[in-house]
Chain A
Amino acid sequence: MEALDKLFRFDNKVIIITGGAGAIGSAAARLFSSLGANVVISDINEDKLKALAASISKETGHEVLGIKADSTIESDMKMLVDKTVEKFGKISGLINNVGWGAATKLWDSNTEKMVKSYVLNTVGAYNLTKYCMPYLEKEPNASVVFSNSMVGTTPSPEFIEYSTAKAGLRNMVHSMAVASGPKVRFNEVIIGSVDNGDATLEAGYDPEMLRRISEGIVMKRRGLPVDIAYAMMYLMSNAASWITGVEINVDGGGMYESKMPTD
């Protein structure tokens, strides 16, 4: 439908997605590519990245570039921008999606673990956004979307490193939004409990916890990666061209009770 195409197609746009080999990142890559964008996905898992780029590109007919880059290394973020521009000549949008945090007891963290989480979840997004800005500023309706987590917006003593870093990210996005209009928009998706496959289990959840979480969600199910990708797509789209500095909670309507028992 023509009216929808005008609002939600991404033809000739170049969009970088970090954490692109993960569940949410790859769902976003597939969605934006389906909607016409040239997508650049970055991840540290090179094998998965290359296979994914090839499979999405075959499916959609649009170019997908997989670049191995570690968000915790500043020179990698610069390289990611350089390679994107070298290949496509511009950057229209960025999804700072990479992020992760392990379950840690409140008083079991230390300087090293806290800083490591901050660098991964907050500083990496800062660096990449900074290197993208000169290119984003040249593009119409340029937009940066950040993946945040409900641990960053609610007290989360069971994820003390991750939640503290994500809370910092949230303030950073708001600062970018007030200072960077009208050229570039900055918004966040606050992600509820999503079935991320292996990453969920690695973060310390067990099946009983996951069952309790589903029951506690207003809409009685955990999210699918694509639920999150859809919100990213809306915030990136022409339909959202007057939206900056907001966050959308994509969380199945919220939780009836605490997301994880603390001991």
Chain B
Amino acid sequence: MLKLDSLFDLKGKVAIVTGGGDGIGKGSCEILARAGAYIVVSDLTIEKAQAVADEIVKDGGKAIAVACNVLKDEDLVALVDAAVKEYGTVNILVNNAGGGGGGRENPFKVDLAYFERIFNFNVFSAWRLCQLTVPLMAKSGYGSIINITSMGSINKSPNMSAYAASKAALNHMAANLAFDFGPMGVRINNVGPGATRTHALETVLTPEIEAKMLEHTPIKRLGTVEDITGAVLYFAAPVSAWVSGQVLFVNGGGVQTLD
């Protein structure tokens, strides 16, 4: 009889998670570790990455922490090197680090350097990590990449043009890379969270904002980290072996915009 573990078995698979120090990144590290993966927790702040790795090890898993500024190419190279040095290869990559937006991108108040930085953060770093890890994945015989995109990639809002355009680029980049990596046995998919109760959101959330966000959300609650990491696990695991190039929005069926 079929056992669940076999569908989600990641025992001994090596997973890099960027921005793994908190929120969706931390949750991704935890769920992949529970499925048996060895985790390379990377974060800009080493203390946060180390705390997540320590917790995984305490629970009987395997994990290391690596400081990484995804805006620096030498950090990306060092991150992959650290994974290979510790565990021999890379099988799973969760491109979770990213940022920008927040309604602060007035096109007449930000400069081109800002726009470039956001693309570097959300698109170029993910592309570079794919370039560095996919040959390892292909050689090892198992590879799955998950990019954390955003509802911003399809929403239309004022003062969001850099972030929204970069996340849309991330979606289409993945759709195209699926064609490049598919014949190598490597899959790539994007998960698009709606408004998720992370620490970052909780700091600005009021009952009024929450009510507004739920006006156009069929499932009348905000997302949890577990809602998003369930999708990360689905795409990371053998259960989705014939799925690539997808963008899956985990958003309660709606958009949590404020206008």
Q: Which residues of A contact B (CB under 8 A)?
A: 1, 3-5, 7-9, 30-31, 34-35, 59-60, 177-182, 185, 192, 218-221, 223-224, 227, 230-231, 233-234, 237-246, 248-254, 256
A85 → B minimal CB distance (Å): 25
B 29-44 binary contact with A (CB < 8 Å = 1; else 0) = 0010011000000000
Q: 26 A-B pairs, CB-CB below 8 angstroms?
A: A1-B4, A1-B35, A34-B2, A35-B2, A177-B218, A181-B253, A181-B254, A182-B220, A185-B253, A219-B185, A219-B187, A227-B243, A230-B240, A231-B240, A231-B243, A239-B230, A239-B234, A243-B231, A243-B252, A245-B253, A246-B248, A246-B249, A248-B243, A253-B178, A253-B245, A254-B179
Q: Nearest 9 A-B pairs (CB), nearest first?
A: A181-B218, A239-B230, A218-B182, A244-B253, A253-B244, A227-B242, A242-B227, A34-B2, A253-B182
B219 touches A182 (CB 8 A): yes
Q: How large is the interface on B (under 10, 10 to 19, 20 to 34, 35 or more residues)?
A: 35 or more
| B217 in the interface (beta carbon within 8 A) | yes
Q: Which of B217, B230, B233, B242 contacts A224 (CB 8 A)?
A: B242
* Complex Cα–Cα for A34 and B7 (A): 12
| B223 in the interface (beta carbon within 8 A) | yes
B2 touches A249 (CB 8 A): no
A219 touches B182 (CB 8 A): yes
Q: Across the two chains, which residue of chain B brings its CB closest to A238?
A: B230
Q: Which residues of B contact A (CB under 8 A)?
A: 1-2, 4-5, 7-8, 31, 34-35, 178-179, 182-183, 185, 187, 194, 217-221, 223-224, 226-227, 230-231, 233-234, 239-246, 248-254
Interface centre among B221, B233, B241 (most CB of A within 10 A): B241
Note all chain A residues with C-beta closer than 8 A to B219.
181-182, 185, 241-242, 244
Q: Which of A4, A8, A246, A256 contacts B179 (CB 8 A)?
A: A256
B253 touches A59 (CB 8 A): no
* Complex Cα–Cα for A239 and B242 (A): 19
Note all chain A residues with C-beta closer than 8 A to B252.
181, 242-244
* Complex Cα–Cα for A218 and B251 (A): 28
From known contacts A218-B244, A241-B227, infer whether A31 and B182 are also in contact, taking CB-CB under 8 Å.
Answer: no
